[in-house]
């Protein structure tokens, strides 16, 4: 009995740990060189951190987000106007308007390359 | 019971039905109200929409009759050519009635209707991460230029008109015409119109026949007055006030009383006393009416600024870099202090001898006035290009003379790691910087503000420097003060400015108000081919390929980004290779028609090769104007000492380096 409980406990812990460390995967085309892949991944990672800290309150990728605010599906972000509209709109995107072009780029790279969970 | 009620009772006795009935009738009433209010507002809007439609149709008729005339014409007959030219002129006038909308709604399609050049390469600020775009021009101006060419083919000429006929259809699409149903676009289009009045319309930038500039300006102003009237009829809740309309009437009257020759036109008075007043009012409407933009044209223009002659007219380069999200003034001033130390610190270079201040000398307007081009890292060879002043560099959307970099930070990193310049590498540089306790403590603190950066990186170092040197650009010049009614300026300066805007053709590349290559709507940087010689013997064109090295194309060979002429008196030598030592030499070169005028063989010069025929007096006036753009720069004093390093050898380094 004890051993069964033990096994269940271990399984439970594994699942917990897996949930916690589940990495976001990125879709980087296969023809991209290893060096550029590393650059892309670095940008994605910076973008993820910036997004989580500054955007996810409204845009629900990591959290619930707000109703009616885009969750940035692939289609939404593919339209490059997003870059412009985010940075320009001082009212709803005051934080994004402050960001450097590189920071915006990191976020857009993150959003466009991340593989959405089904 | 419940079951019975639902299943057994006849359907018309069911209570929910009555409730539904009530809800349904309320919804119907609401719907009717909404529909009615929409149809009222639609009817209400029609005057303005109708004007748009009829004006576009009138222009389309001009286009098709032009097409017919060309089809029937004999291009070898001078008489027929003149008939075509007259028709182009009348089509241009019809275009002036819709220019107000077209340029704002879809500038790329507009270039096919009346673009200034057959091919333009653009790299706009919102496309920072996209390759340069090729824009093909067509339509009236290009057709007219084509008629002045040597070999004429009717098909090519017709193509230019047909392209413009296709392009005008863009403006009939719902996505564009639906914007006319709300007031927002109007004030933004009007802003662009006013900026173009100040910077483009009176300079001949897109009107090859200089005799027609002022007549066309008059018809443009009249056409727009008509737009204003219908707008106010359709949008009484957000009108142009009487104050604006009166100021506009006086602008029209001013232009009507001015001489028809654009060289005698008083550009100074026109901008200062008329356009700038209108601009201030229009900016106020944009704020008061909560105007929203969905247009890329508004990307950089600052809604809170009230005058064209201000450094806050459009947003400059981002100077904060990785520290962009930092707001705390105390921390920012600490970042600035560290940035200043780094600016003077040769620790950033491979041999610990060169600092930013070595070439961007703080006592020489942050450039080096003693050399044509700076020495390379080996201290023997020269770099290919002249050191640019850092003052006002933030007002370029692309950096370096070939537009290689899109951000100040990328540019800064390039200089530090370039083997011919500071010859350092990221790893070594960070190690050396962090060997100084003062830097290390500061950057450890700053690192906490940038969670996306794992460690202290070159991003932190370069961002501190750009935050410091970006502050050199905030000063104004006597000419700005004169434009803003804070100072009276000499008659020769005014004359010089009027020449600059007209006969001397300077303003077709150096745009108001920064007099650099950034023109309204201030979202891109322009490049020009002017045929700068290798040396003053004018035997060879400079071998530097310029923009071509970044974006190889027929049009970009020897093209360089247009620099600002602010502080030019103190930033010699001039041109990308520092070939000229005085402003007089520069003006003589332009007066002669650039490289082509000096008999150099250049196929793609963007400057007319004819002489400007400037008199000695006129050249002096131009220089007087250029001197009025000397800014009241407050120069920084260098730091007394640099942070101590744990590496004793590094402590021998000198403030500002020793180059």
Q: Which two tokens stand for residue B605?
A: 């010069």
> Which residue in the block uniquely carries the two structure tokens 């002129």?
B89
CB contact under 8 A, B325 and A54: yes
Q: How far is B128 from chain A (nearest CA, A)?
A: 8
Closest Cβ–Cβ partner in A49, A81, A100 for B320:
A100
pLDDT at A60 > cutoff 90:
no
Interface ipTM > 0.95: no
Radius of gyration of chain B (CA): 30
Q: Please state whether B255 falls in left (phi above 0), alpha (psi between -120 and 50) or beta.
A: alpha
pLDDT value of residue B618: 98
Q: In whole angstroms, give the CA distance from residue B89 to residue B207.
A: 10
**Interface with A, mutate which of B295, B314, B325 (most A CBs under 10 A):** B325
Residue of A nearest to B296 (CA): A84
Residues of chain B above pLDDT 90, percent: 83
Picking from A113, A97, A111, A105, the residue whose alpha carbon sits closest to that of residue B407 is: A105
A38 touches B at CB < 8 Å: no
The pLDDT assigned to B16 comes to: 46
Query: Is any Cβ of chain B less than 8 angstroms from the Cβ of A39?
Result: no
Q: How many beta-carbon contacts under 8 Å exist across A and B?
A: 53
Give which of A117, A108, A88 is closest to A48, Cα–Cα. A108
Angle among Cα B460, B461, B463 to the nearest 5 degrees reads 65
CA dihedral B133, B138, B141, B143 (to 10 degrees): 140
Residues A61, B187: Cα–Cα separation, whole Å: 37
Q: What mean pLDDT comes out for the span B447-451? A: 96
- Does the CB of A99 have a partner CB in chain B at under 8 Å? yes
b/e code B35-62 from CB counts within 10 Å (16+ = b): eeeeeeeeeebbebbebbeebbeebbeb
Between B38 and B276, the more confident residue is B276
Q: Which residues of A touch B296 (CB under 8 A)?
A: 81, 84
Pair of tokens at residue B215: 């007549």
Tokens of B615: 């008199």
Residues of A in contact with B293 (CB under 8 A): 88
With a cut of 90, say whether residue B484 has pLDDT above it.
yes
How far apart (Å, rounded) are the C-alpha atoms in residues B265 and B272? 13
β-pairing, B560-561 with B119-122?
A: unpaired
Q: How far apart are CA B88 and CA B164, in angstroms?
A: 12
With 70 as the cut, is the pLDDT of residue B489 above it?
yes
Q: Give B458 or A9, the one with higher predicted confidence.
A: B458
Band of residue A113 on the pLDDT scale cut at 50, 70, 90: confident
Task: Write down the pLDDT at residue B8.
Answer: 36
Instruction: Dump the DSSP string for B213-238.
Output: HHHHHHHHHHHHHHHHHHHHHH-TTS
DSSP state of B508: G
Q: What digits encode the pLDDT tens for the residues B93-138?
A: 999 999 999 999 998 899 999 988 888 887 766 555 567 778 888 9
Mean pLDDT, residues A14-20:
54
Averaged pLDDT of chain B: 92
Q: Does position B652 have pLDDT exceeding 90, yes or no? A: yes
Whether A103 and B324 lie within 8 Å, measured CB to CB: yes
Q: Kind of pairing, strands B527-528 and B133-136?
A: unpaired
Choose from A52, A82, A88 for mutation: most chain B CBs within 10 A: A88
Locate the chain B residue with the closest alpha carbon to A44: B452
Q: For a pLDDT cut of 70, what percent of chain B falls above it?
A: 93
Main-chain phi, psi angles of B187, to 5 degrees? -75, -30
Structural element, H or E, at residue B133 = strand B133-136
Q: Up-side HSE of residue B124: CA atoms within 13 Å toward CB?
A: 21
d(CA B67, CA B448): 66
Which of B294, B325, B452 faces A46 most closely, judged by CB atoms?
Answer: B452
Total count of residues recorded for chain B: 659
Task: Say yes or no to pLDDT of B4 above 60.
Answer: no
The predicted pLDDT at position B37 comes to 54
The DSSP call for residue B400 is S
The pLDDT of B413-431, averaged and rounded, is 97
Could you tell me which residue, B395 or A66, shows the higher pLDDT?
B395
> pLDDT higher for B590 or B295?
B590
Give, in order, the Cα–Cα distances in Å from B319 to each of B323, B478, B530.
9, 26, 31
State the pLDDT at residue B79. Answer: 94
DSSP string, B245-296: HHHHHHHHHHHHHS-SSTTTS-HHHIIIIIIHHHHHHHHHHHHHTT-----G
The whole-number average pLDDT for the span B319-346 is 97
Nearest-CA residue of chain B relative to A85?
B294
In this predicted structure, what is the pLDDT of residue B220? 94
Residue A49: which of B126, B299, B451 has the nearest Cβ?
B451
Q: Rounded CA gap, B174 and B149, in Å?
A: 39
> B110-119, B159-168, B456-465, B568-577: lowest mean pLDDT where?
B110-119
Q: Is the pLDDT of residue B40 over 80?
A: no
pLDDT of res. B204: 85
At B492-539, the pLDDT tens digits run: 999 999 999 999 999 999 999 999 999 999 998 999 999 999 999 999
DSSP B554: G
Cα separation of B517 and B576, whole Å? 14
pLDDT at B35 over 60: no
pLDDT of res. B5: 38
pLDDT above 90 covers a percentage of chain A that reads: 12
A77 pLDDT band, cuts 50/70/90, is low
Q: Which residue has the higher pLDDT, B76 or A76?
A: B76
B50-91: pLDDT as tens digits: 999 999 999 999 999 999 999 999 999 999 999 999 999 999
Where is average pLDDT lowest: A87-91, B418-422, B464-468? A87-91
Name the DSSP class of B611. Answer: -
pLDDT at position A97: 84
Question: Looking at the complex, does the CB of residue A68 fall below 8 Å from at least one CB of chain B?
Answer: no
* Cα–Cα distance for residue pair B303/B306, rounded to 1 Å: 8
What distance in Å separates the CA atoms of residue B430 and residue B415, rounded to the nearest whole number? 15
Cβ of B395: how many Cβ atoms within 10 Å? 22
- Quick check: B320 contacting A, CB < 8 Å? yes
Q: Are B192 and B104 in contact (CB under 8 A)?
A: yes
Q: Which of A106-115, B633-642, B647-656 has the lowest mean pLDDT?
A: A106-115
- DSSP conformational letter for B354: B
pLDDT at residue A7 tops 90: no
**Do the strands B560-561 and B527-528 form a parallel or antiparallel pair, or are they unpaired?**
antiparallel
The whole-angstrom separation of Cα B459 and Cα B462 is: 5
> b or e along B163-201 (b: 16 or more beta carbons within 10 Å of the residue's beta carbon)?
bbbebbebbeeeebbebbbebbbbbbbbbbbbbbbbbbb
pLDDT at B36 over 60: no
**Alpha carbon of A78: minimum distance to chain B alpha carbons (Å):** 13
Top mean-pLDDT range of A33-47, A65-79, A94-108: A33-47
Task: Say what the pTM is.
Answer: 0.88
Take residue B162 and report the two structure tokens written for it: 């047909």
Cα–Cα distance for residue pair B561/B401, rounded to 1 Å = 5
User: Which tokens belong to B25?
Assistant: 């009738």
Question: What's the rounded Cα separation, in Å, for the pair B633 and B365?
Answer: 8
Nearest chain A alpha carbon to B298: A88
The pLDDT of residue B127 is 55
Round to whole Å and give the CA distance between B593 and B613.
10
Is there a contact between B475 and B567 (Cβ–Cβ < 8 Å)? no
Closest CA relative to residue B426, chosen from B445, B413, B437, B435: B413
- Chain B nearest-CA distance from A87, in A, is 9
Q: Name the packing angle between helices B583-591 and B616-627 (round to 10°).
A: 130
């Amino acid at each position: 009995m004890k051993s069964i409980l033990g096994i269940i406990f271990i399984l439970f812990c594994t699942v917990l740990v897996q949930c916690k460390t589940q990495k976001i995967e990125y879709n980087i085309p296969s023809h991209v060189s290893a060096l550029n892949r590393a650059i892309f991944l670095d940008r994605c990672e910076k973008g993820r951190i910036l997004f989580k800290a500054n955007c996810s309150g409204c845009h629900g990728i990591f959290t619930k987000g707000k109703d009616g605010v885009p969750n940035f599906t692939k289609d939404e972000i593919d339209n490059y106007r997003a870059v412009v509209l985010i940075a320009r709109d001082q009212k709803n995107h005051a934080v994004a308007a402050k960001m450097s072009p590189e920071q915006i780029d990191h976020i857009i790279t993150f959003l466009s390359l991340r593989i959405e969970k089904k | 019971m419940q079951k019975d009620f639902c299943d057994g009772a006849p359907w018309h006795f069911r209570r929910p039905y009555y409730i539904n009935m009530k809800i349904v009738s309320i919804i119907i009433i609401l719907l009717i109200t909404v529909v009615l209010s929409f149809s009222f507002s639609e009817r209400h809007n029609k005057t303005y929409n109708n004007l748009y439609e009829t004006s576009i149709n009138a222009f389309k008729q001009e286009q098709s009759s032009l097409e017919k005339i060309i089809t029937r014409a004999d291009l070898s007959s001078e008489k027929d050519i003149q008939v075509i030219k007259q028709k182009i002129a009348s089509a241009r006038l019809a275009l002036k009635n819709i220019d107000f909308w077209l340029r704002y709604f879809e500038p790329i399609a507009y270039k096919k209707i009346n673009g200034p050049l057959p091919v333009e390469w653009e790299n706009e600020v919102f496309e920072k991460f996209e390759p340069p775009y090729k824009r093909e021009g067509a339509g009236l101006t290009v057709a007219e230029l084509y008629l002045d060419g040597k070999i004429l083919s009717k098909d090519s000429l017709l193509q230019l008109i047909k392209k413009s006929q296709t392009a005008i259809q863009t403006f009939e699409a719902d996505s564009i015409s639906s914007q006319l149903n709300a007031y927002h676009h109007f004030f933004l289009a009007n802003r662009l119109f006013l900026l173009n009045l100040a910077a483009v319309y009176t300079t001949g930038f897109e009107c090859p026949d200089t005799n027609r500039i002022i007549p066309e300006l008059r018809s443009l102003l009249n056409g727009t007055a008509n737009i204003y009237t219908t707008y106010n009829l359709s949008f009484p809740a957000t009108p142009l006030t009487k104050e604006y309309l009166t100021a506009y009437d006086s602008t029209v009257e001013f232009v009507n009383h001015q001489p028809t020759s654009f060289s005698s036109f008083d550009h100074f008075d026109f901008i200062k006393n008329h356009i700038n007043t209108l601009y201030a009012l229009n900016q106020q409407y944009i704020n008061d009416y909560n105007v929203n933009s969905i247009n890329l044209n508004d990307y950089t223009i600052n809604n809170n600024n009230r005058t064209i002659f201000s450094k806050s007219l459009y947003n400059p380069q981002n100077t904060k870099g990785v520290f962009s999200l930092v707001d705390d003034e105390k921390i920012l001033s600490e970042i600035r202090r560290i940035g200043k130390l780094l600016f003077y610190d040769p620790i950033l270079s491979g041999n610990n001898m060169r600092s930013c201040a070595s070439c961007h000398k703080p006592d020489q307007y942050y450039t080096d006035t003693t050399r044509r081009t700076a020495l390379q890292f080996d201290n023997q060879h020269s770099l290919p290009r002249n050191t640019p002043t850092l003052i006002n560099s933030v007002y370029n959307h692309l950096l370096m003379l070939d537009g290689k970099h899109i951000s100040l930070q990328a540019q800064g990193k390039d200089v530090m790691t370039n083997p011919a310049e500071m010859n350092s590498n990221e790893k070594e540089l960070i190690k050396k910087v962090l060997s100084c306790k003062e830097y290390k403590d500061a950057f450890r603190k700053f690192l906490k503000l940038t969670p996306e950066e794992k460690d202290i990186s070159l991003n932190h170092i370069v961002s501190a420097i750009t935050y410091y040197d970006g502050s050199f650009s905030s000063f104004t010049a006597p000419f700005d003060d004169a434009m803003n009614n804070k100072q009276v300026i000499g008659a020769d300066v005014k004359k010089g400015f009027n020449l600059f805007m007209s006969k001397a053709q300077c303003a077709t590349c150096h745009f108001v108000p920064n007099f650099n290559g950034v023109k309204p709507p201030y979202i891109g940087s322009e490049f020009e081919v002017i045929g700068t010689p290798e040396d003053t013997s004018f035997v060879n064109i400079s071998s530097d390929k310029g923009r071509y090295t970044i974006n190889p194309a027929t049009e970009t060979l020897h093209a360089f980004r247009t620099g600002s002429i602010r502080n030019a008196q103190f930033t010699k030598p001039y041109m990308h290779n520092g070939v000229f030592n005085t402003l007089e030499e520069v003006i003589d070169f332009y007066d002669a028609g650039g490289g082509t005028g000096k008999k150099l063989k250049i196929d793609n010069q963007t400057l007319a090769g004819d002489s400007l025929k400037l008199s000695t007096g006129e050249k002096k006036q131009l220089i007087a104007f250029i001197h009025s753009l000397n800014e009241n720069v407050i120069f920084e004093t260098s730091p007394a000492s640099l942070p101590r390093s744990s590496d004793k050898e590094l402590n021998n380094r000198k403030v500002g380096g020793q180059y």
